[in-house]
Structure 1
Amino acid sequence: MRKIWITALLLSATPVTAWAQQAQSVDDDHAPATDDALASAATDIVVTASGQRQRLIDVPASVSVITAEQLAVRPVRDLTDILDRSEGVTLNRAGNQRTIQIRGLPSNYTLFLIDGKRVNAGNAAFRGNNFDSNWVPVEAITRVEVVRGPLSSLYGTDAIGGVVNVITKPVGDAWHGTLAADSTVQQDHASGNYDKLGGYVSGPLLPGTLGIKLYGGHNVREADAPTRNAAGATLAGFDRVEETFADGTLVWTPDRRNSVSLNYGYNRLLHGDTPLTRRSAALTYEGTFDWGHGQLRAYGNRIRNLAGNVSGRVQPNRASDGQVDGRLTVPVAALRQTFTAGGEYRDQALYDPAHLTGMPGVPGGSMRPSTRVGQWALFGEDEIRIVDRLRLTLGDRYDRHEHFGGRHSPRAYLVWHPVDRVTLKGGWARAFRAPTLLQNAPNWGSVSCGSATAGCYIIGSTALQPETSTSYEASARFDGTGMSAGVTLFRNELRNQISIVNRTRDPQLARAYPNFVGILPDGRPIFRYENLARVRTQGVESSLRADVTRRLEVTANYSYLDAVNRSSDPALPVAYTPAHSANLSANWQAGNAFGWFATANYVGRQYLNVSPNPRYTVTRDGYATVDTSVSYRFPRLTLRAGLLNLFDVRQDRLTSIDYNEDGRRAFVSAAARF
């Protein structure tokens, strides 16, 4: 093992050069009239948080941008490995499933997008879904945009907590590509090693008219060995995860103003005993006109869960999600405004013969093993340039849901540059989240309470109401030469959160629960989903970037989060929401070839299980981990090596709801470019 550490310290690689798309300058009509110093201080172009392309300092939202260079400096099994290094983002790792939380809200409140297209495996994997962050290999990503806070005014029901948009590399004017391989070896042989192989290629088929981009990959993370807790109970380790990706896009550009793209993708993930496959297709038209810009597209996903959602049983299902949407953005210089208007239609369907046939043993249950729901929406946004340095964005979206009627999601946001290099922002938004296809289906049901035969049974409910939220935020940002810093205050009130926490396997105790339905013929109590929780999250997010020298860059962020479930008296904390989290990174380029990178991550004290009875409350103290790597870049090859969790800070699970933090491990990687 000593040879592994020596090799890791001696081998080297530069932060891998990515074929990142260079954002074009914003049109003069869209840019604020600020001086060159301010304009050059924040040149990142953001496409997710408004109806138009905007510079990061002008966008009406709190946004973090993760670049391809940041993704490349250390091994990334999936996006959760890098997303939790952003301010305002933490991980929920119940039962060793890693899912992201934005401002304390679980992952099912975050909308995942790939190139602006929705991805959601929740209907097929309803017992916890950590698949949505796994669909794209790192080698194909040019950047990831993370919107912290609700964006339902543009994206609707799933964006009540935030949006993560994975933006893949564009089709190039010349052929180029990357082939990369990573291998990570655990010092503790009981923990699983992992390996990655990924590639990306792009180029013209007919120069200036037809181009193609292809990416794919194969990743394996071996399972951990079982462990024993302090009481001597055996606990399972992290499941084996195997991922395979393949995706291709044809882009036809008959002229400089119009483009048509056709995309098809296939993904297969095997997480423990649960294999999921996803097939996706999309057809997109984009056009630039004398009066504005437009987009029209149709896309869909079909996800098959070949094992089902109950351990030890094979109960396959399949879910589909199709959408047609379009938008127009029109700047009107005479009115100093930019208008965006659009609409969409979405259809979701699920075929699940194991869970959509009514309650077992109960006469009169529905025998139709499928369900579906449709909804349409219209949205609009108006950016008003009040004066050169002050913009007001007003937006609203009207969603018409098949089961819940119409809902509005308005927002208002101010962006002000009072002086050069300083940006002040503030906004208010209302958002809603409809019950999922399963939660609202009266003929859907599943086993629960820890047993498939002697526990309890949960069912959907037509009495559910959509969840709603009201949020506020205010921020200040400074962008100077070689340094930028920002701080954001936020508060979010979530009402009518849908819950199934009220349940028990005891038939006598069950009758006192407000969502108790009845008793199955085999004696198990039945409970329905209910609107219960009122959750408040508030806190502070801060970030800093500084060029200490011409070759040394340091970045840091710190987040304070106060997440409280106010449904009971007294109020209870929310699990997996550490009050304090922080990250510190240093990137040093000694020359054109050699580089060094180090990062430290702190996760504060958190609750792993919360109960009104203190006997069942589980907490974990705060801890910090450090990663470091070195790199060397040849003309066509980049080599990297390093140590993750350098000081071997172990966090082994004590209960089945807990999680493991991998100990010290070494990695080596190589990336060839052409």
Structure 2
Amino acid sequence: MLKIHLALSSAMTLALAAMAASGAHAEDAGPTEVESVVVTASSIAQRIQDAPASVSVVSAEDLQQRPIQDIVDALGRVEGVTLSRAGNQRTIQLRGLSSAYTLLMIDGKRVSSTNNMFRGNDYDAGWAPIEAIERVEVVRGPMSSLYGSDAIGGAVNIITKPVGKAWTGSVSADYTAQEHSQAGDSYKGGFYVSGPLVVDTLGLKVWGGYDRRSPDKGVNSSGLAGMPLQQETFVNGTLQWTPDEATDVTAQYGFSRSNHDHFIMKRRDFALTHKREWDFGESRLRFYGDKIENLTGNTTGEINPNNARNYALDARFTAPLGDNSLTVGAEHRWQDLEDPKLLAGWPGSPTAGKDTQADVRQWALFAENEWRITEDLRLTVGDRYDHHENFGGHHSPRAYLVYHLTPNISLRGGWSRAFRAPTLLQNSPNWGSVSCGSATTGCFIVGSTALKPETAESFEGGVRFDFDRWSGGITAFQNELKDMISISNRTRDPALAPGYPNFVGFLADGRPVFRYENIAKVRSKGIETSIAGDITETLSIRANYTYLKSEDRSSAAPIPLVYQPEHSANLTLDWRATETLSLYASANYIGRQYLAAYANPAFNIVQDAYTLFDIGGRYDLNPRLTVRAGVLNVTDKRIERTTSTEYNEDGRRF
């Protein structure tokens, strides 16, 4: 408990001191009307009704309604989003494709620590604390025409609160206690402060936080570990210089430290951005990057640190041309990785340890045009040409129509192609790692220069309605993914190994070696529905349902993809009982899903469907202080791991 008090007291002291020194008022600088405008679905900001994509927005109010550890908790309740829970790691999946095909961004800047932690990267969704977030935009469907590689499934853009024109700030503290004493409690504290240093010229925002989910102790009767330790520390600052009404220059620097099951990652990130409004359009020039240090490595029981650096320089210009809005842009990205253990070459070979660094560079040109054909019909077309130093050029086109049948009802649909280049590790022949369940008697996996980029083609169509008190829609989609990169073909048996198509040889100690290969063809299709509105003046409802069928179709008999429930649904009721008291009740239905799937279905592992219920509320003691309380998983539905592919579901919590 001492750690709890120290963490929360430190956050509160910093925030309150800053506000007091500035004469700040402690009102949340969260969004109001800006929530109806999205910036991730196209090259221009526009109303969500006009966006040329399927978009969901999770607001700051949504994030603050119930206690969540990070945005993964909240996004798991968005239509079209499923969570992979392998080994109790939680990662975001869009429309039946794994997290590797979801581009994560913070304020439009891509974030990825995959090269540092290739075995399972559940860090990227946690680099920003809830207190700093204004909203999260989830774009479902390929977005490679704008963002390039990694956006085959879609994009998640975490948008932080802006620099305020007046001093504002907030501080928060949460504690979640488990009913079952062997399960780990959670606690967090955070602050956000923003305001002008020089009125109308120079502004500042600073945010920080500390979160911890203590590890389970003896939860599983099977002996497998329960939920692991998860601990995050953040601090971040941004200076905004506005020399005139048309120019905006920002400089940002941040530090984050994450400890997931005693695998520790540090991230230092920066960004310099110049924006200007001209008489003939708007421009943005941005240079950003990060350095991510894996202080532990990738293998349990060993300490093999690595560090990666990612940099990007991008520019774009948007101009109105009559009934058109044209955006053109360019980007240059480069990555490098230093890993003395995994980039050392084959163990025992003459070149082992000679070169432990790898890097890759790529550039892109893109253009997107929104054509207002009539007052009610809009066509968005775009293409991005990416040139990768190892794979040459690749086009990612898309076309999308939005037709406003009435002022409140719109028909929409689109087509797109997308690609994903192999990661730095998958493509490096000098990279290798132990696998097949043992660091000494298993097998060895290596990168390959023979890999091809993965490609996808996607279609969607649907209808959306937006009335004064009700909004929602229904969308059908289908994705076809080809040349999926896989390392599933491997075995520790030296007699069987030469029969595998990706077998490349034996180590000196006799372990078989396998390379990554392009094998899988995946099809995902489904239907997403949602509705939200006010039943009465004080009672509102939000609900969504997703049907999803996602299969590996590489062989004659399709194999279902794992951690992809065929049915999922969410329901939340909000009751504004008084001006100061609001209550909610929610239900989260997770349908039947495969946790392991094979060509021989006799070996499949299935998790049956279940539903989780939460209740809670908030009470405003005064305009500056709110208290929140509730019960999570009211019916105490628990799941305990009995195999490594299964996951834990926390029981009742307060």
Q: Please report the TM-score for the alignment, with normalisation by the length of structure 1.
A: 0.92
**Alignment partner, residue 93 of structure 1:** 85
Contact 1:249 1:262 in 2 (8 A): yes
Q: Which residue of 1 aligns with 2:3?
A: none
State the match for 2:276 in structure 1: 287
Q: Which runs of 5+ in 2 are unaligned?
A: 1-25
Matched, 1:214 2:210: no
The answer to whether residue 623 in structure 2 is matched with residue 635 in structure 1 is: yes
Q: How far apart are residue 481 of structure 1 and its match? A: 2.8
Distance 1:527 1:645 in 2: 44
Aligned residue for 2:252?
263
> Quick one: which of 441, 449, 461 aligns to 1:454?
441
- In the alignment, structure 1 residue 663 sits paired with structure 2 residue 619: no
Match of 1:186 in 2: 178
Question: SS of the counterpart of 1:208?
Answer: coil
Cα distance in 1 between the residues matched to 2:548 and 2:581:
38
- 1:136 counterpart = 2:139: no
In the alignment, the residues of structure 2 paired with residue 615 and residue 322 of structure 1 have an alpha-carbon distance, to the nearest angstrom, of 47
- For 1:89 and 1:201, the matched residues in 2 are separated by 32
> What secondary structure, in the 3-state scheme, does the structure 2 residue paired with 1:235 have?
coil
Ranges in structure 1 where 5+ consecutive residues have no aligned partner: 1-15, 25-42, 667-674
Partner of residue 304 from structure 2, selected from 315, 322, 341: 315
2:484 paired with 1:492: no
CA RMSD of aligned residues (A): 1.1
Q: Deviations over 1:50-85 (max 9, x none)?
A: 110100000100000000110001011011100011
Checking the alignment, whether the CA contact within 8 Å between 1:18 and 1:69 is kept in structure 2 is no
Cα displacement (A) at 1:112: 0.7
Cα contact 2:274–2:286 (8 A) shared by 1: yes
Shift of 1:362: 2.0
Q: What does residue 386 of structure 2 align with?
A: 399
Q: Deviations over 1:569-613 (max 9, x none)?
A: 211000000000000001111222001011110000000011123
Matching of residues 316-331 of structure 1 within 5 Å: 316-331=305-320
How far apart, CA to CA, are the structure 1 residues paired with 2:252 and 2:428?
A: 32
What SS class does the counterpart of residue 600 from structure 1 fall into?
strand
Look up the SS of the partner of 1:234 in the other structure: coil
CA drift at 1:17: 7.4
CA distance in 1, matches of 2:449, 2:345: 14
What is aligned with 1:105?
97
**Pairing partner for 1:644 from 632, 639, 654:** 632
State how far apart, in whole Å, the 2-side matches of 1:551 and 1:274 are: 46
Instruction: State the distance in 2 between where 1:225 and 1:237 align.
Output: 7
2-structure distance, mates of 1:240, 1:365: 35
Structure 2 distance, partners of 1:432, 1:388, is: 33
The DSSP-based 3-state class of the residue aligned with 2:87 is helix
Give the residue type in structure 2 aligned to 1:658: E
| Mapped contact 1:18–1:142 kept (Cα < 8 A) | no
Cα distance in 1 between the residues matched to 2:457 and 2:27: 41
Residue of structure 1 aligned with 2:569, choices 565, 582, 606: 582
Letter of the aligned partner of 2:551 in structure 1? Answer: V
1:125-274 equivalence runs, <5 A: 125-229=117-221, 233-274=222-263
CA–CA distance in structure 2, aligned partners of residues 446 and 48 of structure 1: 36
The 5-angstrom pairing of residues 268-667 of structure 1 reads 268-333=257-322, 336-365=323-352, 367-633=354-620, 634-666=622-654
Q: Secondary structure at the match of 1:559?
A: strand
The match for 1:80 is: 72
Matches of 1:226 and 1:97 in 2, distance apart?
Answer: 18
**Residues 228 and 665 of structure 1: is their aligned pair in 2 closer, same or farther, counting only changes over 3 Å?**
closer
What SS is found at the alignment partner of 2:131? helix
Match of 2:40 in 1: 48
The correspondence for 1:119, drawn from 89, 111, 121, is 111
Report the Cα distance in structure 2 between the residues aligned to 1:246 and 1:364, rounded to whole angstroms: 42
Q: Secondary structure at the match of 2:126?
A: coil
Residue pair 2:202, 2:241 contacting (<8 A) in 1 also? yes
How big is the shift at 1:256?
1.4
Summarize the Cα distance change of 1:662–1:17 in structure 2 as closer, same or farther, 3 Å threshold: farther
Secondary structure of 1:167's partner? strand
Match of 2:18 in 1: none
Q: Deviations over 1:288-324 (max 9, x none)?
A: 1111111100000100000000010000000110000
Spell out, residue by residue over 1:21-55, the C-alpha distance to the aligned partner (whole angstroms, 9 max, x if none). Answer: 3456xxxxxxxxxxxxxxxxxx7000011110100
Distance (Å, rounded) in 2 between the aligned partners of 1:657 and 1:376: 38
Deviation, 1:227, is 4.2
- 1:152 and 1:299 map into 2 onto residues whose CA distance is 20
CA distance, structure 2, for counterparts of residue 418 and residue 569 of structure 1: 43
CA contact (8 A) 2:117 2:298 kept: yes
Residue 366 of structure 1 and its aligned partner are, at CA, apart by: 6.3
CA-CA distance at 1:391 after TM superposition: 0.6
In the aligned structure 2, how far is the partner of 1:171 from the partner of 1:592?
A: 29
Report the count of equivalent residues: 628
Pair 648,220 (structure 1): closer, same or farther in 2 beyond 3 Å = same
Instruction: Judge conservation of contact 2:31–2:60 (CA < 8 Å) in 1.
Output: no
* Deviations 1:120-147, CA, capped at 9 Å, x for gaps: 0101011110000001111111100000
Q: Using the alignment, how far apart are the partners of 1:210 and 1:419 within structure 2?
A: 44
Tell whether the 8 Å contact from 1:413 to 1:428 is kept in structure 2 after alignment. Answer: yes
Deviation at 1:485? 2.2
Amino acid at match of 2:181: H
C-alpha separation in 2, matches of 1:663 and 1:435? 39
From the superposition, tell whether residues 481 and 23 of structure 1 become closer, same or farther in structure 2 (CA, over 3 Å).
Answer: closer
Distance of 1:366 and 1:422 partners within structure 2: 62
Q: Deviations over 1:232-269 (max 9, x none)?
A: x4101111111100000000011111100000000000
**What CA distance in whole angstroms lies between the structure 1 residues aligned with 2:647 and 2:87?**
6
Contact 2:27-2:624 at 8 Å conserved across structures: no
Distance in 2 (alpha carbons) for counterparts of 1:170 and 1:654: 46
Query: CA–CA distance in 1 between the matches of 2:32 and 2:339?
Result: 44
Change (3 A) 1:226 1:507: farther
Q: Which amino acid aligns with 1:624?
A: T
2-structure distance, mates of 1:241, 1:539: 33
Determine the C-alpha separation between the residues in 2 that align with 1:60 and 1:576: 29
1:241–1:270 CA contact under 8 A, matched in 2: yes
Shift of 1:363: 2.6
Distance in 2 of aligned mates of 1:134 and 1:454: 35
- Percent identity reads 54
**8 Å contact from structure 1 (residues 204, 210) kept in 2:** yes
Which amino acid is 2:653 matched to? R
Deviation string 1:134-173 (CA, Å, 9 cap, x unpaired) is 0111111110000001100000001111100000111111
TM (normalized to structure 2)? 0.95
Preserved CA contact (<8 Å) 1:294 1:329: yes
| Cα distance in 1 for residues equivalent to 2:190 and 2:513 | 47
CA distance in 2, matches of 1:243, 1:394: 40
